[in-house]
């Protein structure tokens, strides 16, 4: 139940980020809807395809489609007001990233993949929706340029695999990793942390 | 037999639309061939991947590859003459969209998915080839900007699920939905119908 | 053992080509890593998805991820020195293309697909990583514009299916096809061979 609520809030935040990018590109309403949809479900879709889960998750769970459609129509109507929710949206988005990373890791574990692959799948789940959004809008994905949140997903995933070495409950390790991801992201944004610059000029 | 002919005409129309976009970008002959191929089979490929049909359709049906190769070479040779066939090509394309939408819906039903997911799969089958074509040519997909035909696929799919509520034969409902899609597209193009503008400025 | 070495050299060459394109776009270190990874494993991933091999290859073979991570960090550190290895890298890349084409063909044969589809899968294995790299970097894929190497993969694949008609060992046919691909690529680059121009102006 708790997870369902986080999942819904994350879906809303991801869909709205899709709406905002799509509207900046002046896409029509169908385009905005598709970009929002892809942003919200793209990461899980690629993860399911790579692991071989079929059909991919969203095809059998209509709840996401319904939430995304409602979100898109509300976001388009109240686009001017969205700025007042910027902080809430950032929070939903951050919680969503934490949750989706751990969902990806869990699906990897279920498929008996190694920790490094599980972390890769967690990061894909959390990040690939945004990558597809940017590709469809003809931009180089923002997480390849300045956003650090993919790196935070990786660090969060690593900390999960470290924590479960300790003699503690899996649910706690799971929640701890989500909290670590959320905390790191808030710190990274507040203190404008970026990856080390690899260019001299 | 009738379906096979429609499928072939649709494949030809889709491949030619790929050739035209690719030649505008001055791609070489291999690039033109790939763009044509992707335009023609991309939608069905994504649909099969999402549902989990394996291998994807075109890998076991060489007829499409042969038709596409022949079409591409003829289209490149007679590219100046293509404008005389503009109306026929539009018709083939439109019939193809109708057919592919219903093929996608059928595959969704076979996989026991809900009507909303079947409609999504039908729309993906009809539209995603063009999306991939535009992405590979570094353009924002045209159906996200001005073409209404994705919306028409959705309306056509909805009407199929409404019609089968009536006490009539499935084949008739099927054909009726294809006719509705074709009619709507012709009307949309003739009267320059577009989606409602969501931007104030 | 011999194959493993070629595979590793090919992976290194592909990853470095990803690093170079990504650094030209001034991506951050995470972006460079992902582009390198996608360039190296993208072709095999699409092949596995299309055939329906699950999970896709790299999820169960961590060696590639490790090689790519090491390669990326070394390539970033010594990017100025990479030009001295240009010839070696070209050679590794070319050998990699030959090998990957044949790996794709073999996987197609294992899935009992027809020769034309096996050749398509071989070409996808060798070329699609570079296509994804270019798409993620917001460029029209270079193999659609000027590189002839996709065509060379096709010719190499065709020659394999011709050679196995002869009364000779499969391993020899296999190696011969790889040698043909390598030789054609070296000839094509040395003599600046390009596909016939299909534009009059």
Helix axes A62-77, A29-51, angle to 10 degrees: 150
Distance from CA of B17 to the nearest CA of C (A): 17
pLDDT at residue A3 is higher than 90: no
Which chains share 3+ C-beta pairs under 8 angstroms with A? B, C
Phi-psi region of B13 (alpha: psi -120 to 50; beta: other; left: phi over 0): alpha
Closest CA to A8 of A124, A133, A100: A100
pLDDT band at A51, cuts 50/70/90? Answer: very high
C111 chain-B contacts, CB cut-off 8 A: 55, 59
Closest CA to A136 of B134, C137, B27: B134
Q: Which of B27, B32, B44, B80 to mutate to test the interface with C (most CBs of C within 10 A)?
A: B27
Distance from CA of C140 to the nearest CA of A (A): 11
B141 chain-A contacts, CB cut-off 8 A: 31, 136
Q: Are B111 and B186 in contact (CB under 8 A)?
A: no
Residue spans of alpha helices (H) in chain C: 2-24, 29-51, 62-77, 86-110, 115-136, 149-163, 170-190
pLDDT digits (tens, 9 = 90+) for B128-177: 999 999 999 999 999 998 878 899 999 999 999 999 999 998 889 999 99
Q: Provide the number of CB pairs (under 8 Å) joining chain A to chain B.
A: 73
Q: Which of B22, B54, B55 to mutate to test the interface with C (most CBs of C within 10 A)?
A: B55
Q: How far is CA B173 from CA A2, B40, B159, C69, C103, in A?
A: 43, 26, 9, 55, 46
Q: In terms of residue numbers, what domain contains B79?
A: 2-190
B27 φ, ψ to 5°? -70, 160
Q: Does B76 touch chain C (CB under 8 A)?
A: yes
In a domain, B200, yes or no: no
Distance from CA of B80 to the nearest CA of C (A): 11
In a domain, A157, yes or no: yes
Q: Is B194 helix (H, G, I), strand (E, B) or coil?
A: coil
* Per-residue model confidence (pLDDT) at position B201: 63
pLDDT digits (tens, 9 = 90+) for B18-63: 999 999 999 999 999 999 999 999 999 999 999 999 899 899 988 9
In a domain, B201, yes or no: no
Distance from CA of C153 to the nearest CA of A (A): 25
Nearest CA in chain B to C196: B29
In a domain, A80, yes or no: yes
* Per-residue model confidence (pLDDT) at position B200: 75
Distance from CA of B78 to the nearest CA of A (A): 31
* Per-residue model confidence (pLDDT) at position A6: 84
Tokens representing B192?
Answer: 């320059």
Tokens representing A184?
Answer: 């790191």
Nearest CA in chain B to A54: B52
Cβ separation C144–B56 shorter than 8 A: no
Three-state secondary structure readout of C65-103: HHHHHHHHHHHHHCHHHHHHHHHHHHHHHHHHHHHHHHH
HSE (side-chain half, CA atoms, 13 Å) at B197: 3
Distance between CA atoms of residues B7 and B43, nearest Å: 13
Q: Which of A140, A146, A152, A157 to mutate to test the interface with C (most CBs of C within 10 A)?
A: A140
* Per-residue model confidence (pLDDT) at position A201: 63
Q: Is A16 helix (H, G, I), strand (E, B) or coil?
A: helix
**Percent helix, strand and coil across chain A, each to the nearest 5:** 80, 0, 20
Q: Does A55 touch chain C (CB under 8 A)?
A: no
Q: Provide the number of CB pairs (under 8 Å) joining chain A to chain C.
A: 73
In a domain, C165, yes or no: yes
Q: How far is CA A178 from CA A114, A174, B174, B176, in A?
A: 20, 7, 48, 51
- Spatial neighbors of C114 by CB under 8 A, at least 6 apart, are B62
Based on the structure, what is the number of domains in chain B?
Answer: 1
Cβ separation C141–B31 shorter than 8 A: yes
Distance between CA atoms of residues C139 and C136, nearest Å: 8
Nearest CA in chain C to B59: C117
Which chains share 3+ C-beta pairs under 8 angstroms with C? A, B
Q: Does C109 touch chain B (CB under 8 A)?
A: no
Three-state secondary structure readout of A78-127: CHHHHHHHHHHHHHHHHHHHHHHHHHHHHHHHHCCCCHHHHHHHHHHHHH
Tokens representing C154?
Answer: 């096709």
Q: Give the closest of C22, C62, C136 to A135, CB-based.
A: C136
B54 chain-C contacts, CB cut-off 8 A: 51-52
pLDDT digits (tens, 9 = 90+) for A62-116: 899 999 999 999 999 998 888 788 888 888 889 989 999 999 999 999 999 999 9
Distance between CA atoms of residues B122 and B102, nearest Å: 6
DSSP state of B56: -
A51 chain-C contacts, CB cut-off 8 A: 54-55, 59
Distance from CA of A63 to the nearest CA of C (A): 26
C121 chain-B contacts, CB cut-off 8 A: 59
Average pLDDT, chain B: 92
Question: What percentage of chain A reaches a pLDDT higher than 90?
Answer: 74
Which of A160-174, B89-103, C76-90 is the least confident region? C76-90
pLDDT band at B125, cuts 50/70/90? Answer: very high
Q: Does A24 touch chain C (CB under 8 A)?
A: no
Q: Does A136 touch chain C (CB under 8 A)?
A: no
HSE (side-chain half, CA atoms, 13 Å) at C49: 25
Nearest CA in chain C to A199: C26
Distance from CA of A138 to the nearest CA of C (A): 7
Q: Cα torsion at B58, B61, B67, B73 (round to 10°)?
A: 60
pTM: 0.94
In a domain, A62, yes or no: yes
A54 φ, ψ to 5°? -140, 145
* Per-residue model confidence (pLDDT) at position C2: 76
Distance between CA atoms of residues C3 and C9, nearest Å: 10
Q: CB-based burial of residue C73 (10 Å sphere; 0-12 exposed, 13-18 middle, 19+ buried)? A: middle
Q: Is B14 helix (H, G, I), strand (E, B) or coil?
A: helix
Q: Give the closest of C30, C49, C55 to A144, CB-based.
A: C30
Q: Does A141 touch chain B (CB under 8 A)?
A: no
Q: Does A30 touch chain B (CB under 8 A)?
A: yes
Q: Are C173 and C180 in contact (CB under 8 A)?
A: no
A103-118 in b/e form (b: 16+ CB < 10 A) is: bbbbbbbebebbbbbb
Per-residue tens of pLDDT for chain C, all 201 residues: 777 888 899 899 999 999 999 999 999 999 999 999 999 999 999 999 999 998 998 999 889 999 999 999 999 999 888 878 888 888 888 998 999 999 999 999 999 999 999 999 999 999 999 999 999 999 999 999 887 889 999 999 999 999 999 999 888 999 999 999 999 999 999 998 888 888 876
In a domain, C196, yes or no: no
Question: What percentage of chain B reaches a pLDDT higher than 90?
Answer: 75
Q: CB-based burial of residue A80 (10 Å sphere; 0-12 exposed, 13-18 middle, 19+ buried)? A: exposed
Cβ separation A23–B114 shorter than 8 A: no
Q: Which of B198, B199, B200, B201 to mutate to test the interface with A (most CBs of A within 10 A)?
A: B198
In a domain, A197, yes or no: no
DSSP state of B55: S
Distance between CA atoms of residues A122 and A106, nearest Å: 8
């Amino acid at each position: 139940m708790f997870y369902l609520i986080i999942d819904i809030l994350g879906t809303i935040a991801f869909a709205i980020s899709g709406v905002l990018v799509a509207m900046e590109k002046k896409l029509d309403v169908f385009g905005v809807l598709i970009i929002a949809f892809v942003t919200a479900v793209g990461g899980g879709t690629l993860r399911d395809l790579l692991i071989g889960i079929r059909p991919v998750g969203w095809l059998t769970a209509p709840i996401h489609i319904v939430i995304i459609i409602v979100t898109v129509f509300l976001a388009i109507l109240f686009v001017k007001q969205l700025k007042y929710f910027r902080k809430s949206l950032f929070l939903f988005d951050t919680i969503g990233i934490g949750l989706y990373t751990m969902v990806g890791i869990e699906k990897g574990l279920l498929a008996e993949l190694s920790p490094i692959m599980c972390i890769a799948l967690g990061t894909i789940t959390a990040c690939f929706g945004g990558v597809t959004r940017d590709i469809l809008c003809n931009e180089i994905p923002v997480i390849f340029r300045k956003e650090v949140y993919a790196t935070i997903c990786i660090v969060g995933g690593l900390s999960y695999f470290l924590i479960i070495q300790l003699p503690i409950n899996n649910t706690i390790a799971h929640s701890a990793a989500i909290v670590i991801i959320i905390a790191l992201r808030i710190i990274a944004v507040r203190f404008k942390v970026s990856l080390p610059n690899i260019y001299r000029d």
